[in-house]
Amino acid sequence: MYDRLAARVTTSLEHIQLPSAEQIWRLLDVMDVGLLVTDPMRRIIYVNATFTRESGYTLDEVQGHTCAVLQGPATDPTDIEVMRRALDRGEGFSRVVLNYRKDGRPIHYRVRVQPLYEGTILRYFVGVQEDYSETYAALERLGRWAHVDSLTGLGNRRAFDRALDQALAGTTAVQLVLLDLNDFKQVNDERGHQAGDQLLVEIAQALTGVLDGGGSAYRLGGDEFAALLPSGAAPVEERLREALAALEPEAVRAAVGVARAPDEARTAPALFRLADSRMYRQKVGTRG
């Protein structure tokens, strides 16, 4: 039985007409992903029509060049090094890379490259590149939203922690300002949460206005805010209180605590504790 089945399969295969080399190239040209083929020295020997449409480069313009012709000033050197090492080893890779079109416009590609061997001899590298720009932009937006307070538009606690760590890792002195509202719960209870949310938005705008581009503002959560600005910047406490006093309801007041690095503290936890303790003492004193 198996012999008869094998004979039928063999007979069927004999009637299959394999495409010629010219037909194969024509098939590759109509694929909706960019294709390129290089020799073992990474010199381009073929690109398909989709590659030309997306990049602007024809085969005549890139033939004999390496893929470095597609890179530009903002291409990540780490990406270049990772790809180079894989190719040096005769291995494939998959990576999202920033390249440039012929007209100079940047484009993010998801690049997949595989080596093609004949026996043990490396003959070609075959690359597939897909336009990843829209997906990359969407991921960038998600990344930004993950660091933004949705109500006020200020940076959130995650953004604040990262910014504070980066500031303390540098050599520039920094000033941390913490702000906490007094009796904010009373606003929510008496006027409703919508009024409370509106007040938080107005406080965020007041804080940003006081900084006037000289620092960065954050909402840490609830009615707690923070700002980071150069240590030599003019004191903001009095200006901040004046800005808050102009808001409705006028009874809303805030406690403010300030600490400076590296003069008063050198680590993020120590700096935050110092500013927080000063803010708390002021809050208790105000209530008293």
Phi and psi torsions of 4, nearest 5°: -65, -40
Q: What share of the chain in percent tops pLDDT 90?
A: 41
pLDDT at 114: 93
What is the average per-residue pLDDT within 209-231? 88
Q: pTM of the predicted model, to two decimals?
A: 0.56
Question: 13-17, 143-147, 250-254 — which one is most confidently predicted on average?
Answer: 143-147
pLDDT, greater one: 153 or 14: 153
Phi and psi torsions of 264, nearest 5°: -105, -25
What is the average per-residue pLDDT within 40-63? 93
CA distances for 232 relative to 52, 98, 213, 270, angstroms: 54, 39, 14, 20
Phi and psi torsions of 126, nearest 5°: -110, 120
In a 13 Å sphere around the CA of 139, the CA atoms on its Cβ side amount to: 7
Which of 60, 212, 223, 276 is the catalytic position? 223
Active site residue 223: yes
Both structure tokens of 165? 């760590």
- Check whether 1 has a pLDDT greater than 50: no
Long-range contacts for 90-98 (Cβ within 8 Å, ≥24 apart)?
90/115, 90/117, 90/122, 91/115, 96/132, 96/136, 98/72, 98/74
What pLDDT digit, counting tens, does each position of 237-254 carry?
888 888 887 876 555 678
pLDDT at 9: 42
